[in-house]
C-alpha cells in the first residue's frame, strides 16, 4: 500500500509547489476558458489555474 501511495504523494507535492494563478472572469468567459482548459494548462506547466467566476466589477490591481 505504501509503494502505491508514494507516486501519488509525489504528484500532490509537485502540484502544491506550482505557482497558483487566479483568473477572475464573468460566467460566460469562465465557461469559454474552461472549455479551452487543455490549451491553457498542461501537467508539465509550472503553474496551476484557479478560476473565480463572478459578475461583480473587480479591482484588477487588487
- Does residue 62 belong to any structural domain of this protein? no
**Residue whose cell numbers read 509503494:** 3
- Does residue 59 belong to any structural domain of this protein? no
Per the structure, how many domains does the chain have?
1
- Does residue 31 belong to any structural domain of this protein? yes
- Does residue 61 belong to any structural domain of this protein? no
- Does residue 46 belong to any structural domain of this protein? yes
Domain that holds residue 36: 2-53
- Does residue 60 belong to any structural domain of this protein? no
- Does residue 9 belong to any structural domain of this protein? yes
- Does residue 42 belong to any structural domain of this protein? yes
**pLDDT value of position 58:** 66
pTM beyond cutoff 0.75: no
Residue 61 pLDDT grade (very low, low, confident, very high; cuts 50, 70, 90):
confident
The tens digit of pLDDT for each residue in 13-48 reads 656 677 888 888 888 888 898 898 888 778 778 788
DSSP-derived secondary structure for 11-58: HHHHHHHSEEEEEEE-HHHHHHHHHTHHHH--TTSSEEEEEEE--S--
Amino acid at each position: 500500500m505504501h509503494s502505491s501511495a508514494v507516486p501519488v504523494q509525489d504528484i500532490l507535492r509537485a502540484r502544491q509547489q506550482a505557482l497558483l494563478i487566479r483568473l477572475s472572469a464573468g460566467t460566460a468567459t469562465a465557461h469559454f476558458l474552461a472549455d479551452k482548459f487543455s490549451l491553457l494548462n498542461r501537467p508539465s506547466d509550472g503553474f496551476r489555474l484557479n478560476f473565480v467566476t463572478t459578475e461583480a466589477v473587480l479591482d484588477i490591481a487588487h
